[in-house]
Amino acid sequence: MIPPTRNFDQALSLPALDGSFFAADWPAPANVRTLITTRRGGHSKGAYGSLNVGAHVGDDPAAVAANRALVQARIALPVAYLNQVHGNTAVAAASSLKTPADADASFDNSSQAACAVMTADCLPVLFCDHAGTVVAAAHAGWRGLAGGVLENTIDAMGVPPLEIMAWLGPAIGPEAFEVGEDVREAFCRNLSAAEAAFHAIGGGKYLADIYALAKLVLRRAGVSRIYGGEHCTVLEREHFFSYRRDGQTGRMLSAIWLQPESTG
């Protein structure tokens, strides 16, 4: 049984931009900008209410386009959407502007495009380097997380891991992420410390902490500055879409970009 929804004001320690958007709370360079959507403040109806940016979930295409326009109006660069496939491929964001690439992560060091991923329980991870020369965004469901999407994203950024910081966006929390032995084995066979991220609840089932797993993967890859990881998309019903909770639902967006000098 899913516990009652927690108080959002207590759970949300990130600085709200308004009722629909917020920004990552981390010590990124001034030219690195982020935007994370909630489910609020858009045009979609019913199960997709209301700021759904997913064009692949059965929502009215006109509503999705209007929602994406709301998001784009707040981002200085064109948003590079991906055709996410629960894999581990990272591409240059600019290459995904005209036709979304089949990939689960993108990076940019050119101020040509905003890196972005869509989620509704899977973990969005935003990256930048300390000097503000490169950014990236990764979609880390459990398959991608176990399969190397974060490591491949770090490699694609082209800077030493010790110069990279990461922010973990809204995902399914440890009180709601019930998994089977297959998921536990996928992590624990190559990362013994992952045992601590699984709590047995009987019947071959576990509660998994995707934030703890991501931190283990990032630290193993050499990234030590890690922020975020404070939400639960399942429990915070009024503010986040959740596929695990609702089945038919929308998608949030987590975006990061290098602000062009001319725009301030």
What pLDDT, on the 0 to 100 scale, is given for residue 253? 98
Residue 261: what pLDDT? 82
Asked whether residue 124 carries a pLDDT value surpassing 50, the answer given is yes
Statement: residue 9 has pLDDT above 50: no
Residue type, 104: D
Residue 100: CB partners within 8 Å, gap ≥ 6?
A: 80, 81, 82, 83
Predicted pLDDT at 122: 98
Could you give the CA distance from residue 218 to residue 153 in angstroms, rounded to a whole number?
11
- Which of 117, 157, 120 has the alpha carbon at shortest distance from 138? 117
Residue with tokens 């931009």: 17
User: Number of C-alpha atoms within 13 angstroms, CB side, residue 197?
Assistant: 25
What is the C-alpha radius of gyration for the chain, rounded to an integer number of angstroms? 17
3-state secondary structure 89-157: CEEEHHHHCCCCCECCEEEECCCCCEEEEEECCCEEEEEEECCCCCEEEEEECHHHHHHCHHHHHHHHH
Condensed to tens digits (0 to 9), the pLDDT of residues 173-214 reads 999 999 999 999 999 999 999 999 999 999 999 999 999 999
Backbone phi, psi, residue 255, to 5°: -125, 150
d(CA 113, CA 250): 23
Q: Do 234 and 2 contact (CB within 8 A), yes or no?
A: yes
Evaluate the CA torsion angle 4, 9, 13, 16 in order and state its sign.
positive
Average pLDDT score, the chain: 93
Q: How are beta strands 164-168 and 225-228 bridged, if at all?
A: parallel
- Asked if 233 and 12 touch (Cβ cutoff 8 Å), the reply is no
Looking up tokens 């797993």 gives: 213
Q: What one-character DSSP code corresponds to residue 240?
A: -
Percent of the chain, pLDDT > 90?
Answer: 91
Q: Can you give the pLDDT at residue 85?
A: 97
pLDDT for 6 equals: 37
Q: CB neighbours of 5 closer than 8 A, spacing ≥ 6?
A: 235, 236, 237, 238
- Using CA of residue 132, residue 26, residue 257, residue 90, what is the dihedral sign? positive
At 8, the pLDDT band (50, 70, 90 cuts) reads very low
Q: What's the CA angle centered on 56, arms 51 and 43, to 5 degrees? A: 20
Is it the case that residue 13 has pLDDT exceeding 70?
A: no
Specify the pTM. 0.93
